[in-house]
Amino acid sequence: MTITLEKTLFDELEQIVLIDPHTHINPHAAASTTLADIMGYHYYTELAHSAGLEKAKIEEERLDPKTKVGRLVEKLCDLDNTIQVNWLIEMCREFFGFTDDRITTDNWEALYDSASQKMSEENWSQQVLDKSKLEKVFLTNDFDDKLEGFDTNVYVPCLRTDDLVFHFLKKSVRNRLNAASGIDVGDATTFREAIGKLFAHFVGKGAKACAISIPPHFSPTKVDAGSAAAVIKRTVKGQRLTTVEQEMLSSFVFWTITEYCSEHSLPFDLMIGVNRRVYEGGVYQGQDLFDKRVSLIQYKQLLNAFPNVTFPISVLGSTSNQELVSYSWIFPNVVTNGHWWYSNIPTYIETDTRSRLEAVPRTKQIGYYSDMYKLEFALPKFRMYRRVLAKVLATDFVTGRNWTEEQALALGKQILRGNVETIFKVSSQ
Amino acid sequence: MTITLEKTLFDELEQIVLIDPHTHINPHAAASTTLADIMGYHYYTELAHSAGLEKAKIEEERLDPKTKVGRLVEKLCDLDNTIQVNWLIEMCREFFGFTDDRITTDNWEALYDSASQKMSEENWSQQVLDKSKLEKVFLTNDFDDKLEGFDTNVYVPCLRTDDLVFHFLKKSVRNRLNAASGIDVGDATTFREAIGKLFAHFVGKGAKACAISIPPHFSPTKVDAGSAAAVIKRTVKGQRLTTVEQEMLSSFVFWTITEYCSEHSLPFDLMIGVNRRVYEGGVYQGQDLFDKRVSLIQYKQLLNAFPNVTFPISVLGSTSNQELVSYSWIFPNVVTNGHWWYSNIPTYIETDTRSRLEAVPRTKQIGYYSDMYKLEFALPKFRMYRRVLAKVLATDFVTGRNWTEEQALALGKQILRGNVETIFKVSSQ
Amino acid sequence: MTITLEKTLFDELEQIVLIDPHTHINPHAAASTTLADIMGYHYYTELAHSAGLEKAKIEEERLDPKTKVGRLVEKLCDLDNTIQVNWLIEMCREFFGFTDDRITTDNWEALYDSASQKMSEENWSQQVLDKSKLEKVFLTNDFDDKLEGFDTNVYVPCLRTDDLVFHFLKKSVRNRLNAASGIDVGDATTFREAIGKLFAHFVGKGAKACAISIPPHFSPTKVDAGSAAAVIKRTVKGQRLTTVEQEMLSSFVFWTITEYCSEHSLPFDLMIGVNRRVYEGGVYQGQDLFDKRVSLIQYKQLLNAFPNVTFPISVLGSTSNQELVSYSWIFPNVVTNGHWWYSNIPTYIETDTRSRLEAVPRTKQIGYYSDMYKLEFALPKFRMYRRVLAKVLATDFVTGRNWTEEQALALGKQILRGNVETIFKVSSQ
């Protein structure tokens, strides 16, 4: 009975039209043009490399897309157990008429060609949006993105702030800030003005959130004005900073950005826990890992200082989920946000989903985002999430607590879609 | 079949008469008098606040109980997914004849009134004890509690030592110790005598345990006599202590208390992992959170030094459960104790229960305590636990290992009740 | 249906002939001779001690085996819930014709005698191998083991390096190295030569892996030649080392060993996370515990420095499993290895297995090893694992992803057996 119920709920959840609140979509090339765009996603290149495919074979210069796909396909037999390859099969079946259950050295070429043909249709990205029931897709824009040439009502801008917070020591980043803001940053005051310009630009273009990914050791603190002024001055002069000064610089930039989030009522997505370049010999975007020794207590000062800023928080490690549940349960300004990266597999999604639904107000949970680079990924990723959500609603709510199917479904809808609207203040089309 | 089996085992577990080994009941006002006593429990106020209800609306001075409940009810629709609101509905149905499945702005007033009427019956607290099948309830008494005016055979005293260990620097605490012990504490010797007086008083009144909640960073160590003497002297003189000296003071007080536990054969409940006042703007009792970066290795010296003291240990974070399982499996004096606070939701209870039943001697597990402030909470909280326990016994033992229902039930009874008797040496009435 | 499917898959998995890739078998006395060999396994002595049996009763000098078993049996009633006692019952039923479901003070003597009789049969160890479907068993040999007098094709040597890495300060260890290598170690050069001799000896005898268990705080780093030379000199002269120098010594030894692993293409089993002698009053081998505050980020430098060395990694704490999954997913030279010690119970095995099958290439997972001291343990331990594996394959793959039973079974076979062959380069007989 529970199985039938799960199926019913899943089918209903599949009907919901989505707003995807976090992606890395390039709005000028939102959908894929060849299978290499899909299989070039770091999940596949890094898994193939992990299973033994040399990096040089994947990242060879001037490698044509078809050859690349051919090489990756040879490794798929070692990866077919992974949920990521499951997404791949599901995409091929849904979008390209693929009917087999494995992609092999025998059948890939036909698939490659039929996919290319399909993707070359004029309205391909719209087809993908329609088939995936995607209404809007949040972007993650560089701070100096002009945000022009696309429909910001569908591709919703979001200000990514990693470079500003963690790489402001780099001259290239400072130059980009000067250029984007039209302000020659020379001290803390002009720095603040420049950041203000970015916010004005983004908000003017309909941005609905700020976002940042953060290493495990970081703990933002308020830096006093004098120290901030000194450290900004030294930075713009190109002087070396001590480790303590670098932390101070990051904290000051972070704090300033949060102040503007407050001023503009923008939620600030915190994606906590990633160490960059841990595996230096890894493929593009396949080098980052984590240190689970991180705690949300590191954000105590921040969460107390900005009661008006909503922080949708993602954690990289499953061991951080209970802290996230507890902090969301206590802090009005903390919201649970999806299932990020290494936690984005059904085993962890299930435990995380169950615990959040048991202890966090239903208005404060953003169920899922795809984190995708190409539009085709939303369908299988959200479907994976919907399967888990249907299971939890069936087992814990309908069977376990005697909720009606309608009540369970209403909860599911709110988690999947409703809260995205209310938390990010996006209105339905 | 498993579902039927679960139900059968649950029904049997529901028949067991309980001793609740850890609560915050005030024996002079054990049961509630209005629904505000129940809905004023921090679980509801903090969740309502987290969902957007202003603290000022909840903690307004001279707020009458009915208005307070009315305000909280308006937020319940945002919280109805939580297991805590599930307890609330279950209490209202079991105790107050409530028949709906949600408390809403439409039906709450009638409920409030019928509840008030019910609670005003003369023998209300006895009715609650009877209906909840509660035989005894452990208290958590301040060290200067006179322990008079109530039946200590039903309301079992337990010495809470947080103030002594972590707040002895406060003059008010030192004054309370002087008053309670009748000793003017001026040095380590008189300090030890004073603590001895407290133990004599508590044990004389039938106390069955000592208890303390501990922040994540604390690691008790034995302080040498000279340092202890010096730091106590400085403390009673009101002098400032360095951080190191404060740790030393806490360790010395903690160690002294443990020595008296040994002398009086009292188990010492350690509740490990809470950081106080993390969210300073939170409602009463809704400000504490945790840092999961804590390990039981911090208790290595203590556990080795006191082989005769039983330590029932509770951990705040689910990520600490495996350490608790392993330490209980190895150390004869470590006992697993319930599912505390942020871990007290079915998702975590289930994993914790399964792992404990698989690897810790059955004599060394205290299944559950309610941690309640008002008697009405024992029923839904223990019921939640019994549901999980029944599921684990059915799945892992009867189905998984071919145990008979009788064998599984005997294990359940021991975990729920038998071990409380043997570990705390309480005899049945 | 899932239950039937699970059973079918389990029955098929039971047919697979195994290579056990990590044990502590003594090849000169591989099987047990009395029930005391089995019940003297630390799992039973430590659990009995934890449940209240005095260490002196277990480790009394000149205690005859039957009396020892009799004493342990008296505690079994307190431990019958544990999975470890489940193994015991399963061994007695499978190997000794035991037909009851509990070992009690009433039936143990007959069991003891029938077991002794059975074990005295001439080909007992071969009987156990056959019945357990064990083809090969990896050993864990001391570095000065002569590796003579047994069939290294069945009992595969493996070089254990704990003593060298963590106890080289002890004169006894240095003397053993000198004796085993025939080299008088006096400096870094002769040290390196001596280690080289060990490797040549082990590889010559068919060793297939190097192994080490590591405390949580350890983080191996490359030590520059000058510092290494200095610290080795001071060590062989018997001079005291500072903590920093000791870490350097351990790192240098560790690094040197890894270099030889690279040279000889030997996988290096890292078993990460054990603190030795935490409970000093514990029984033999029942004193070790852990500190979950450990991260694989501590191995960043190592994993990058030796791309050619395969590191099958075991973690002691379940909270480390997601890091292991993620590091195996990214690093080509990291492989998941079994379910170690305190994580070797179904609750944790299940979550670990699910997550690994969802995110790690199928070629990079060693499903299980027994870690046994006596041959009889492989059967119940592997059976426990097979039960969990069958459940995960049935639920997640056949039911959840529409795999055929054959596909699921092929995955199971690879995890259980195939990867042991490919990763350790052992060929089937």
Segment A123-159, tens digit of pLDDT: 999 999 999 999 999 999 999 999 999 999 999 999 9
Instruction: Give the pLDDT confidence score for residue C1 in this predicted structure.
Output: 57
CB contact under 8 A, C325 and A342: yes
| pLDDT at res. B187 | 95
Distance (Å) from the alpha carbon of C232 to chain B's nearest alpha carbon = 31
Task: Based on the fold, state whether residues A326 and A379 are members of the same structural domain.
Answer: yes
- Indicate whether C141 and C172 sit together in one domain: yes
How many whole angstroms separate alpha carbon A411 and alpha carbon A348? 20
Closest Cα of chain A to C161: distance in Å? 26
Pair of tokens at residue C394: 């049935």
Is residue B381 in a domain?
yes
Q: Do B281 and A296 touch (CB under 8 A)?
A: no
Q: Are residues A172 and A66 in the same domain?
A: no
**Measured between beta carbons, which residues in chain C are less than 8 angstroms from residue A51?**
332, 361, 363-364
- Identify the band that residue A3 occupies on the pLDDT scale cut at 50, 70 and 90: confident
Which two structure tokens, joined as six digits, stand for C151? 């069939």
List, in sequence order, the alpha helices (H) in A182-312.
188-204, 225-236, 243-264, 300-305
pLDDT band at C135 (very low <50, low <70, confident <90, very high): very high
Give the C-alpha separation, B89 to B98, whole Å: 8
Whether B81 and A354 lie within 8 Å, measured CB to CB: no
Q: Which of B303, B307, B361 sits opposite C78 (nearest CB)?
A: B361
- Asked, for residue B356, whether it belongs to a domain, the answer is yes
Partners of B268 in the β-ladder: B210
Instruction: Note whether residue B270 is domain-resident.
Output: yes
Q: Which domain holds residue A311?
A: 126-424
Q: Where are the beta strands (DSSP E) in A241-359?
A: 268-272, 274-275, 289-290, 311-315, 334-337
Residue of A293, A297, A360 lying closest to B289 (CB–CB): A297
Query: Which candidate from A78, A282, A287 shows the least CB-CB separation from C362?
Result: A78
Residues C300 and C336 in one domain: yes
Q: Which of A330, A348, A365, A398 to mutate to test the interface with B (most CBs of B within 10 A)?
A: A330
CATH number at residue C69: 1.10.2020.10
pLDDT given for residue B429 in this prediction: 56
Residue ranges of E strands in B273-388: 274-275, 289-290, 311-315, 334-337, 365-366
Q: What was the pLDDT predicted at B427?
A: 82
Indicate if B112 and B139 belong to the same structural domain: no
The answer to whether residue B295 neighbours chain C at the CB level (below 8 Å) is: yes
pLDDT (mean) for C243-265: 97
C89 close to B (CB below 8 A): no
- Asked if residue A96 belongs to a domain, the reply is yes
Residues C237-260: what's their mean pLDDT? 97
Say yes or no: C100 and C174 in one domain: no
Nearest to C107 by CA among C81, C78, C69, C79: C69
**Residue A207 shares a structural domain with residue A92:** no
Q: Total structural domains in chain A?
A: 2
Residue of B304, B320, B357 with shortest CB distance to C280? B304
**Is residue C297 less than 8 Å (CB to CB) from chain A?**
yes
Amino acid identity, position A384:
M
Q: Any chain B CB within 8 A of the CB of A332?
A: yes
- Tell me the chain C residues in contact with residue B328 when contact means C-beta distances shorter than 8 Å: 50
pLDDT tens for each residue of A315-327? 999 999 999 999 9
Q: Among C86, C289, C345, whose Cβ lies nearest the Cβ of B330?
A: C289
- Look up the CATH number of the domain holding residue C378: 3.20.20.140
Q: Which of C119, C150, C184 is where one domain is finished?
A: C119
User: pLDDT tens digit string along A292-335?
Assistant: 999 999 999 999 999 999 999 999 999 999 999 999 999 999 99
pTM, to two decimals:
0.98
The answer to whether B49 contacts chain A (CB < 8 Å) is yes
Nearest to C141 by CA among C69, C210, C189, C188: C210
As a whole number, mean pLDDT of residues A172-183 equals 98
Residue A401 lies in a domain: yes
Concatenating the DSSP letter of every residue in C157-173 gives -EEE-HHHHH-TTSHHH
pLDDT for C429 equals 56
Q: Distance, in angstroms, between A120 CA and closest chain C CA?
A: 30
CA distances from B34 to A236, B139, B336 (A): 63, 22, 35
Q: Decide if C286 and B357 are in contact by the 8 Å CB cutoff.
A: no
Q: Predicted ipTM?
A: 0.97
When CB atoms are compared, the residue of C293, C358, C402 closest to A82 is C358
Please check whether residue C11 lies inside any domain of the structure: no
Q: Are B354 and C342 within 8 A, CB to CB?
A: no
Residues C93-131, buried b or exposed e (16+ Cβ, 10 A)?
A: ebbbebeeeebeeeebeebbebbbeebeeeebbebbbee
Helix (H, G, I), strand (E, B) or coil at B105: coil
* Whether residue C160 is found in the same domain as residue C45: no
Single out the residue in B119, B138, B169 at which a domain terminates. B119
Give the residue from A177, A152, A297, A155 showing the smallest Cα distance to A235: A177
The sign of the dihedral angle between the CA atoms of A339, A345, A350, A352 is negative
Chains in contact with A, where contact means 3 or more Cβ–Cβ distances below 8 Å, are B, C
Q: Residue C135: which H helix or E strand, with range?
A: strand C134-138
Using CA coordinates, name the residue in chain A closest to B52. Answer: A332
The closest alpha carbon to A76, from A41, A42, A105, belongs to: A105
Q: What pLDDT is recorded for position C400?
A: 96
Domain match, A364 and A219 both: yes
> Each residue of C285-309: pLDDT tens digit?
999 999 999 999 999 999 999 999 9
**Owner of token pair 């709110």:** A414
CB-based contact C78 B326, cutoff 8 Å: no
In a domain, A366, yes or no: yes
pLDDT 10s digit of each residue in chain B, 429 long? 567 999 999 999 999 999 999 999 999 999 999 999 999 999 999 999 999 999 999 999 999 999 999 999 999 999 999 999 999 999 999 999 999 999 999 999 999 999 999 999 999 999 999 999 999 999 999 999 999 999 999 999 999 999 999 999 999 999 999 999 999 999 999 999 999 999 999 999 999 999 999 999 999 999 999 999 999 999 999 999 999 999 999 999 999 999 999 999 999 999 999 999 999 999 999 999 999 999 999 999 999 999 999 999 999 999 999 999 999 999 999 999 999 999 999 999 999 999 999 999 999 999 999 999 999 999 999 999 999 999 999 999 999 999 999 999 999 999 999 999 999 999 875
Chain B interface includes A422 (CB < 8 A): no
Question: Are A275 and C297 an interchain contact pair (Cβ–Cβ within 8 Å)?
Answer: yes
**B278 contacts A297? CB cut-off 8 A:** yes
Closest approach of B304 to chain C, Cα-based (Å): 6
pLDDT at A405 over 70: yes
C119, C146, C180: which is the final residue of a domain? C119
Count how many pairs of residues, chain A against chain C, have C-beta atoms within 8 Å: 98
Burial of C254 (0-12, 13-18, 19+ CB in 10 A): buried
By CA distance, what is A393's nearest residue in B? Answer: B81
CB < 8 Å from B in window 155-174 of A: none
Residues A104 and A132 in one domain: no
* Model confidence band, residue A427 (pLDDT cutoffs 50, 70, 90): confident
Check: CB of residue C267 under 8 Å from CB of residue C239: no
Q: In this structure, are C54 and C202 located in the same domain? A: no
Would B4 be classed as within a structural domain? no
Pick the residue of C99, C344, C347 with the most B CBs within 10 A to test the interface with B by mutation: C347
DSSP state of B298: G
Q: Are strands B365-366 and B289-290 parallel, antiparallel or unpaired?
A: unpaired
B: neighbours with 3+ CB pairs under 8 Å?
A, C
At residue C336's C-alpha, the angle toward residues C334 and C337, to 5°, is 120
Whether A404 and A337 share a structural domain: yes
Question: A184-194, pLDDT tens digit by residue?
Answer: 999 999 999 99
